[in-house]
Copies of this chain bind each other. A is one copy, B any other.
Amino acid sequence: MSKFKEINIDHLKLSCSECNLRELCFPHGMKEEELSNLDAVVDQPKPLHKNDFLYRDGERAMAIYAVRSGCVKTMTESANGDEQIVGFHLPGELLGLDGFADGSHTCNAIALETSSVCELPLDQIESLCHRLPGLQKQMRRIMGKEVNNDHKLLLLLGKMTAEERLASFLLSLSARMEERHWKDNEFNLTMPRQDIANYLGMAVETVSRLFATFQSEKIIDVDRRHISILDIKRLRSIVGECE
């Protein structure tokens, strides 16, 4: 890394109305004049480095967050110490809703790579929602989406085979890439195999073997963290979305 890259440009705040993630993020569905109100309270703290915690289980919840760049994983911890990753959050996706229940976070949020986030302080949400009906509606939509996501993951963990899980994971990533107007058939995984395995409720070895199988069947092409989807129909048929 060249020293020149470290010049601090973090204070150059990007306004919500100019953010190209706005349709995926807080601003979705809000009117132009509402956005300036939003801008006024949204903060953009220093970027996180790989493995930095955005927040920790047990910590007082101060804000909800939107990923601006990079990728953040959230994971719950059980009484006996094992962990379950409950989400990988891409740019434009929100996290921190777990703090709504009793004011403290119940999971850890960790950057998978250098990542930046926007934060919406909790103590402002109340009055802001009061003033901006668009935000209140969006908050509900966001929470509903989170619940639906979790339900999909429950179905995955409860009912799918390892093969279906990995196919489902790749399809989900692909769809989210498309939402962001990135290539949906070629992307890099930001997380190690270990994290994929954890998220999908299986062993690393199984993930590795399945990647190899998919590759040999010409469904995907894998090169370390780089994925090319060669046959998306096959992937869909694996998870049962027959056309």
Which residues of A approach B to under 8 Å, CB–CB? 76, 78-84, 86, 97-102, 106-107, 126, 129-130, 133, 136-137, 139-141, 143-148, 150-155, 157-160, 198-199, 201, 239-242
Contact = CB atoms under 8 A, between A and B. Distances in A.
Given A147-B147, A150-B150, A78 B155 contact: yes
Given A100-B141, A136-B129, A148 B106 contact: yes
A150 B152 contact: no
Given A80-B240, A101-B144, 20 more contacts: A76-B154, A80-B239, A80-B242, A81-B240, A82-B155, A84-B151, A97-B144, A98-B144, A98-B148, A100-B141, A100-B145, A100-B147, A101-B147, A102-B141, A102-B144, A126-B133, A130-B133, A130-B136, A143-B143, A147-B147
Q: Which 6 A-B pairs have the closest CB atoms?
A: A80-B240, A100-B144, A101-B144, A150-B150, A158-B201, A157-B157
Which of A78, A82, A160, A242 counts the most B-chain CB atoms under 10 A from its CB? A78
A130 B198 CA distance: 41
15 contacts: A78-B159, A79-B241, A80-B240, A83-B159, A98-B147, A98-B148, A100-B144, A101-B145, A102-B141, A106-B148, A129-B136, A150-B150, A150-B154, A157-B201, A159-B201
Contact of A154 (B97, B133, B139, B157): B157
Given A155-B78, A201-B158, A147 B150 contact: yes
A74 to B, nearest CB: 9
A151 B76 contact: yes
Contacts of A130: 130, 133, 136
Contacts of A133: 126, 130
A159 to B, nearest CB: 5
A83 B100 CA distance: 29
Given A144-B97, A159-B201, A79 B151 contact: no
B240 A84 contact: no
Nearest to A99: B144
Given A97-B147, A201-B157, A240 B79 contact: yes
Nearest to A74: B151
Contacts of A151: 76, 84, 86, 98, 106-107, 150
